[in-house]
């Protein structure tokens, strides 16, 4: 038998991805262009929405209830960030407590009633020029100072040399009077320096007018993890947590020198 090929059968055309020599109806082109435009617009809207949500999440305020039952408004920030107000308050509170000496110790009795008695001080190491004692409030507030390179212990020994012996027998009182606290200057992430200008005034029974000396310092602070209060902690541990509740610690204290300021 002979195979007879049909010469009139159309030849199969090869598949083509694009073919420029053929056109499509105008209606199909409009529909395709409209669909592409809507998809592009949808993508842009999603990108804008993501950016807005991310920005809002960083600035969003939340109502937080403390363990004491008090409710406060809080804002989410980076773990190493501290606001200028928090830094300034931390420095002010720490230094006022460390350098206000009235010779009195305020505690509570077994019934929880407040009692006031003469402060005998805390021994931090006697030297030839010092009785080695600091006030109880100064000792507690000094936990705001860093333990790195034995800085807190060295500070307490120097503080003991500054503390008059009359503080512990009721003959002398010393008050720190802050005059100016500068805005924090950011050194790097989680580290700031602040200028603290104050006057340290000493009162005695013989001189009730007081004798003041300048107390101008540049203080460097760094962010640290905030300790969590626990109900079964010792009294000393609670004092330590209280001194560091702002999530900051003092890492350097030097005399203020504006001449060397760049």
pLDDT tens string 80-118:
889 999 999 999 999 999 999 998 888 777 777 888 889
Buried/exposed code over 244-256 (b: 16+ C-beta within 10 A; e: otherwise): bebbbbbbeeeeb
Residue 89 in contact with residue 83, Cβ under 8 Å? no
**Structural domain boundaries in the chain:** 23-76, 77-260
pTM of the model: 0.70
Mean pLDDT of 202-215: 92
User: Residue 1: pLDDT band by 50, 70, 90 thresholds?
Assistant: very low
Contacts of residue 22, Cβ cutoff 8 Å, sequence gap at least 6: none
Contact 193, 250 (CB under 8 A): no
Query: Three-state SS string across 27-83, please?
Result: HHHHHHHHHHHHHHHHHHHHHHHHHHHHHHHHHCEEEEECCCCCEEEEECCCCCCCC
pLDDT band at 53 (very low <50, low <70, confident <90, very high): low
Mean pLDDT of 48-57: 65
Q: Is the pLDDT of residue 15 over 50?
A: no
Strand, coil or helix: what is 3? coil
Q: Is the pLDDT of residue 9 over 60?
A: no
Give the pLDDT of residue 47.
79
Structure tokens belonging to residue 157 = 């020994």
Q: How far is the C-alpha of 258 from the C-alpha of 218, rounded, in Å?
A: 10
Asked whether the beta carbons of 74 and 61 are under 8 A apart, the reply is yes
Quick one: pLDDT at residue 88?
96
Give 177's pLDDT tier (boundaries 50, 70, 90). very high
75 DSSP β-pair partners: 61
pLDDT tens by residue, 132-165: 999 999 999 999 999 999 999 999 999 999 999 9
The CATH T-level fold of domain 77-260 is: Nuclear Transport Factor 2; Chain: A, (3.10.450)
Higher pLDDT, 231 or 88: 88
Q: In the predicted model, what is the mean pLDDT of the chain?
A: 82
The pLDDT, as a whole number, for residue 149 is 92
Q: For residues 251 and 2, give the distance between their C-alpha atoms in angstroms, rounded to a whole number.
A: 104
């Amino acid at each position: 038998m002979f195979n007879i090929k049909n010469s009139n059968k159309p030849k199969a055309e090869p598949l083509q991805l694009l073919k420029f020599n053929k056109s499509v109806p105008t209606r199909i082109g409009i529909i395709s262009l409209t669909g592409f435009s809507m998809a592009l617009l949808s993508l842009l809207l999603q990108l804008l929405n993501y950016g807005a949500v991310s920005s809002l999440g960083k600035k969003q305020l939340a109502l937080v209830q403390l363990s004491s039952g008090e409710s406060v408004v809080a804002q989410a920030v980076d773990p190493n960030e501290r606001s200028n107000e928090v830094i300034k308050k931390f420095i002010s509170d720490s230094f006022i407590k460390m350098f206000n000496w009235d010779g009195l110790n305020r505690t509570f009795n077994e019934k929880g009633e407040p009692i006031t008695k003469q402060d005998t001080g805390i021994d931090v190491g006697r030297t030839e020029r010092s009785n080695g004692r600091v006030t109880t409030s100064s000792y507690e507030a000094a936990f705001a100072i860093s333990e790195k390179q034995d800085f807190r212990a060295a500070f307490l020994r120097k503080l003991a040399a500054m503390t008059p012996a009359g503080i512990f027998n009721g003959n002398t009182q010393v008050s720190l009077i802050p005059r100016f606290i500068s805005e924090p200057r950011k050194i790097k992430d989680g580290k700031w320096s602040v200028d603290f200008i104050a006057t340290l005034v000493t009162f005695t029974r013989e001189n009730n007018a007081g004798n003041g000396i300048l107390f101008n310092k540049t203080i460097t602070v760094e962010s640290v993890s905030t300790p969590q209060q626990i109900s079964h902690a010792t009294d000393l541990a609670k004092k330590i947590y209280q001194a560091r509740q702002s999530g900051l610690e003092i890492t350097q204290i030097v005399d203020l020198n504006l001449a060397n300021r760049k």
